[in-house]
């Protein structure tokens, strides 16, 4: 199952990147994210690993993951597994940010192989796609609101500093 989402955000790429890269800011828009902990001793880079806990209904699920692409503020790619996923199932997520001058564009790609699902679980795929779309749209609207709000605050601060000098 592959999902794609694109949106333009009225902010600089560096402003949007903070919300993609910093765990405390991720929790502000990914409202189901409970905790995100690096498990690698190395700095955040390709190959770094992490654990995350996600609220799924009434349950908190544990996922393990790895960073596959890390090029601030342009590209973040991660893979994760565990939680509600059947054993051996891997989800890949890619965030790509393009600088378009007055704003930036976020392109989101997610892919999960559902071929190892069997029986009733396989029948639920169409419903899962609908739910995933609405949840993704909700998350992305949160992200856009936060990044644009931060950009507006930065612009206001900049104007105030110009006036006072």
Residues 79-101 have pLDDT tens digits of: 999 988 888 889 999 999 999 99
Q: Which CATH class is domain 2-164?
A: alpha beta
Positions of E strands within 13-132: 33-38, 49-56, 59-71, 75-82, 91-99, 104-112
pLDDT in tens, 129-159: 677 888 999 999 999 999 999 999 988 877 6
d(CA 118, CA 135): 24
pLDDT at 115: 74
pLDDT at 15: 96
Q: Which of 59-63, 75-79, 81-85 has the lowest mean pLDDT?
A: 81-85
The whole-chain average pLDDT of the chain stands at: 89
Of the CA atoms within 13 Å of residue 74, those in its CB half-sphere come to 4
- Indicate the helix (H) or strand (E) that contains 9: strand 2-9
Burial class (CB in 10 A: 0-12, 13-18, 19+), 4: exposed
- Is pLDDT above 90 for 20? yes
Phi, then psi, of 39 in degrees rounded to 5: -115, 0
d(CA 157, CA 122): 52
Residues 53/46, Cβ–Cβ less than 8 Å: no
Looking at per-residue pLDDT, the higher value among 68 and 2 belongs to: 68
**Tokens 């899962």 identify what position?**
128
pTM, entire model: 0.87
**Is residue 123 very low, low, confident or very high in pLDDT (cuts 50, 70, 90)?**
low
How far lies 62's CA from each of 84, 102, 109, 110, in Å?
Answer: 9, 39, 22, 19
């Amino acid at each position: 199952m592959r999902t794609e989402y694109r949106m333009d955000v009225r902010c600089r790429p560096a402003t949007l990147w903070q919300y993609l890269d910093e765990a405390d800011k991720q929790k502000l828009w990914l409202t189901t994210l409970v905790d995100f902990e690096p498990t690698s001793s190395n700095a955040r880079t390709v190959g770094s690993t992490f654990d995350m806990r996600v609220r799924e209904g009434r349950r908190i699920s544990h996922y393990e993951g790895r960073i596959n692409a890390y090029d601030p503020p342009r590209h973040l790619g991660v893979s994760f597994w565990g939680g509600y996923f059947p054993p051996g199932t891997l989800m890949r997520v890619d965030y790509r940010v393009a600088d378009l001058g007055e704003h930036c564009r976020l392109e989101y790609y997610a892919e999960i192989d559902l071929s190892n699902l069997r029986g009733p679980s396989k029948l639920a795929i169409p419903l899962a796609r609908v739910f995933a779309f609405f949840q993704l749209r909700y998350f992305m609207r949160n992200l856009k609101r936060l990044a644009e709000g931060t950009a507006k605050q930065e612009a206001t601060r900049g104007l105030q500093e110009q006036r006072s000098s």
